[in-house]
Chains A and B, each alone.
Chain A
Amino acid sequence: DAEITQSPRHKITETGRQVTLACHQTWNHNNMFWYRQDLGHGLRLIHYSYGVQDTNKGEVSDGYSVSRSNTEDLPLTLESAASSQTSVYFCASSESSRSARTEAFFGQGTRLTVV
């Protein structure tokens, strides 16, 4: 079955380290999104991509970067991890080309703790 997977599921890192969270989907979806979830803030969009070589900043993109070199993967990199980036991170994908007019499928999340 097609799916979307995130790895690792849990990560503890030190302040200042570079961290990469992986997101892999097998639906061949054009769109991929990264969100962080914090109590009281809901799901906040970090970065998104509408296709290979396309990346866009979301509302909370500072300190994060992504790259889309193929359809299946959208890794999220924290350039220099800060305690404020402790959160649960969700990746999602959807089919539509350059819009969000179809269902988004979410990965199981990565819990990141920065100490």
Chain B
Amino acid sequence: QQPVQSPQAVILREGEDAVINCSSSKALYSVHWYRQKHGEAPVFLMILLTGGEQKGHDKISASFNEKKQQSSLYLTASQLSYSGTYFCGTELRGGADGLTFGKGTHLIIQP
């Protein structure tokens, strides 16, 4: 079952902040975040694991609310290079269904 991402699209000015949300109706084992530029493969940004462990990127942060099964990706002081489509990927507790991605959030950063 695909996680639900919001918003579907965001347009920002350079330097502004953005938050992208990802939620699941089922208990999660891990949440991944990836960014994809047009015509390219998705690239890893961050993993959040149950128990609070977090691995990822210096200038991008994320949180995971285990009670709500929700994760948020925070992009602060956005740069033009942040433009792209952001995907969250989730693995359900029990590991029974692989790594499933949401429909993506399109982020456009304008100068």
Q: Which residues of A are in contact with B by a Cβ distance under 8 Å?
A: 33, 35, 40-45, 48, 56, 58-59, 90, 92, 94, 98-109
Contacts and interface: CB of A to CB of B under 8 A. Distances in A.
Contact of A41 (B29, B40, B41, B103): B103
B99 A59 contact: no
Contact of B99 (A48, A107, A109): A48
A98 B29 CA distance: 12
B58 interface: no
- Chain B's interface size range is 20 to 34
Nearest to A40: B103
Interface of B: 1-2, 5, 29-30, 32, 34, 40-44, 47, 49, 55, 87, 89, 91, 95, 97-104
Nearest to A4: B41
Given A42-B2, A90-B41, A100-B91, 7 more contacts: A92-B99, A94-B99, A100-B95, A100-B98, A103-B47, A103-B55, A104-B34
Nearest to B45: A103
A101 B101 contact: no
A58 to B, nearest CB: 6
25 contacts: A35-B101, A40-B103, A42-B2, A43-B101, A44-B2, A56-B97, A56-B98, A58-B97, A58-B98, A58-B100, A59-B1, A90-B41, A92-B99, A98-B95, A99-B91, A100-B29, A100-B95, A101-B30, A101-B49, A102-B47, A103-B44, A104-B32, A106-B41, A107-B41, A109-B41
